[in-house]
Amino acid sequence: MAISSEPSRPYHHGSLRDALLRRAEEVLSESGVDGLSLRAIARDVGVSHGAPRRHFPDRQALLDALAEDGFVRLGDEIRAAAAAPASSFVERLGALAIVYVSFATQHAALLDLMFAGKHRPGASESLYAAAEGAFSPVFQLIVEGQAQGEVVPGDVDRVALAAWAGIHGLASMVNAGLVDRATLPSLVADAAERMVLGLRPRG
């Protein structure tokens, strides 16, 4: 299970922080947050139990870093989907929704971490930044939609939030085990359709 690497490890690992995060994420997806122990991860990586402290003041800091990393990766995927060629606004937004649900369901434990971290008072500034960065393509797309008259005008934050709630809720319910995984794709399609429908300017 340990990330086996150089046979004779130098005193300084060189990239301990990254190694810890990598291993932590493995454990996270295999055993959930509760199964994540700093000491065990240190063992797996091959350092002493005190070493992680130099990079993460406490366990929560490690979890925050994982969450932040999660937002970054989610942001990458969303950005890629947003950049992909798409004919219509609807198609474009639908693609983002699919990417989101896909990420959320493939990294259930990580998603919990990501959304548990935001409301913690002491959460780092960079976590917030990462979260905002991840969702910025969505906001951007909605602003474009508004400009093109495809989306109801109004405060973007509010409009986006309302629209995205259905997508996030679906992902959340899948992770809770309320949804048969096989029916997920069609549900996502439905949700995306409903989202676009809900965004339409109403006469």
The 15-54 contact track toward DNA, x by CB under 7 A, reads -x-------------------xxxxx-x----xxxxx-xx
13 is an interface residue for DNA by CB under 7 A: yes
Tell me the Ramachandran region of residue 117: left when phi exceeds 0, alpha when psi lies from -120 to 50, beta otherwise.
alpha
60 is an interface residue for DNA by CB under 7 A: yes
Give residues in contact with its own copies (CB under 8 A): 108, 112, 115-116, 118-119, 158, 161-162, 164-170, 172-173, 175-179, 183, 187, 190-191, 194, 197-198
Task: Report the distance separating Cα 67 and Cα 131, nearest Å.
Answer: 9
Query: Among 3, 5, 57, 84, which residue interacts with DNA (rule: CB under 7 A)?
Result: 57
With H, G, I as helix, E, B as strand and everything else as coil, classify residue 194: helix
> Quick one: what does residue 164 bind among its own copies, DNA, none, with the CB cut-off 5 to 8 Å set by partner type?
its own copies
CA 174 to chain centre: 15
161: nearest Cα among 113, 129, 199, 124: 199
- Cβ proximity of 111 and 48 under 8 Å: no
- Cβ proximity of 63 and 117 under 8 Å: yes
59 is an interface residue for DNA by CB under 7 A: yes
Q: List interacting residues with DNA (CB under 7 A).
A: 10-14, 16, 36-40, 42, 47-51, 53-55, 57-60
